[in-house]
Amino acid sequence: QVQLVESGGGLVQAGGSLRLSCAAAGRISTMTFTTMAWDRQAPGKQRELVAAITRGGSTNYADSVKGRFTISRDNVKNTVFLQMNSLKPEDTAVYYCNADPAFGPSVYWGQGTQVTVSS
């Protein structure tokens, strides 16, 4: 059962923009999350953190996306967003959202959404 539902991936030309969304659904839709984040995994590479945001709004970005990507969240709707501008071919990857519950041991993950940037 998918509990973090992602949307917004797709194919875009270099220099373009995409906005990813990730919403908690089902039995975790009303759960309180501390940090919510986006990771990505490109073919043949390890999964890496792209951006993270705390419940209070503090953010952290990978050096490779600073100034181009913006993470935000809606605590009422339990949704996290990733606005991606000035996309580059090296941003091509499967993007995964994750959410760390305030109470409970397990981090929840989305199913992944493909982002492809053509040159």
Cα separation of 78 and 107, whole Å? 14
What percentage of the chain reaches a pLDDT higher than 70? 98
Mean pLDDT (the chain, rounded): 95
Residue in 6, 49, 9 with CA at minimum distance from that of residue 24: 6
Confidence tier at 1 by pLDDT (50, 70, 90):
low
Q: What does each C-alpha distance from 32 to 26, 50, 68, 69, 73 come to in angstroms? A: 14, 22, 28, 25, 13
**Which strands sit side by side in the sheet containing 69-74, from one edge to the other?**
4-7, 18-24, 79-84, 69-74
Residue 40: pLDDT above 80?
A: yes
Q: Are 89 and 72 in contact (CB under 8 A)?
A: no
